[in-house]
Amino acid sequence: MGKKALITGASGMDGSNLARFLLKKGYKVYGIERRVSCDSGNCRHNRLSDIENEIEIFIGDIRDYNRMFEIINKVKPDELYHLAALSQVGISFKNEFEIIDSNIKGTVNLLHILKNILPECKFFHASSSEQFGKVLKSPQNENTPFNPVSPYAIGKVACFFNVKMYRNAYNLFTCNSITFNHECEHRPTQFVTRKITHAVAKIYHGLQDKLYLGNLDARRDWGYSPDYCRAFYLMLQQNKPDDYVIATGETHSVREFCKIAFNKVGLNYKDYVEVDPKFYRPAEVNVLTGDYSKAKKVLGWEPKVKFEELISKMVDYDLELVGKENV
């Protein structure tokens, strides 16, 4: 019988990409999702529609210890991929307590349950390059000190060290990816990449006039979600648990992203993009660049999709999506 994987945040961007990947590897895949309503064009359930008959979804909230206990005890997974989190950095400034409740408590709930009832289960946690914050060294690798500046990043640092503590103190097989920004066609429009590509499609189809953004000079290391999900899987296939930077090694500004995305449809971003200070953050991370050489050496992992191809895929998808909606 194939292995069993349980994914928290299964209907999110990474969750759905990982579920698809693990099914192809022959896993029996179970997911946990919080029941929430869906907004049009961004429906969480849409991301799983092609595989909905192949996976089993449990409704549950990672904050709810008893419910998590019940699900883990029932599934008894070989691998648990913990992807559920409040993941919007900007929003976290207004939601400090949800970061503590969901991101930190949710992670500790899962680790505590595994320690008590399923210590042989391998555990993956998606940590974040936001933990490097106001970077102290560039590029960032596994030895770069964290210097977080947002409630989200501070919460992820707490999760990171909890994952490490359960590995060292209780001998659990727990891993963190220090995941740099990663996107795909199913990224919610609250994140800057999809906000841009969706707007490009709407402007192209004559449905929108302007695109209002915040800091155009922020620089990020943007990769492709399916590539990163492959790395998550590889981490749990090693003999020893460890933490790995997952990145592309390239950094680009939001402005460059706009330029290429608008160029794809023959438009100049300068005619459409305007800065609205309401999208500025109280504290900003200006630049992130990942050094993924450890993942390359140990996991044999490398990103396949780089910046321009990522933008092309997202713009093409949104052109088709908005085109269909417009019929």
Binding site for ligand G4F (CB under 6 A): 87, 89-90, 128-130, 180-181, 190-193, 195, 213-215, 218, 220, 254, 279, 281, 284, 288
If DSSP codes are grouped into helix, strand and coil, which group holds residue 47? helix
Tell me the C-alpha distance between 270 and 284, whole Å: 23
From 102, 128, 129, 177, active-site residue:
128
The residue among 109 and 128 lying less far from ligand G4F, judged by its C-beta, is 128
Tell me the C-alpha distance between 32 and 11, whole Å: 8
The residue among 115 and 255 lying less far from ligand G4F, judged by its C-beta, is 255
Active site residue 102: no
Neighbouring CB atoms inside 10 A of 205's CB total 15
Active site residue 81: no
From 27, 152, 292, 317, active-site residue:
152
Element (H, E) at 122: strand 122-128
The residue among 84 and 172 lying less far from ligand G4F, judged by its C-beta, is 84
Q: Identify which of 92, 87, 104 has the alpha carbon closest to the alpha carbon of residue 151.
A: 92
CB of 280 to ligand G4F, least distance (A): 7
Rounded to 10 degrees, what is the CA torsion of 185, 11, 92, 210?
30
Active site residue 128: yes
Pairing of strands 219-220, 252-253: antiparallel
CB of 116 to ligand G4F, least distance (A): 29
CB of 190 to ligand G4F, least distance (A): 6
The residue among 109 and 140 lying less far from ligand G4F, judged by its C-beta, is 140
If DSSP codes are grouped into helix, strand and coil, which group holds residue 98? helix
- Catalogue the active-site residues: 128, 130, 152
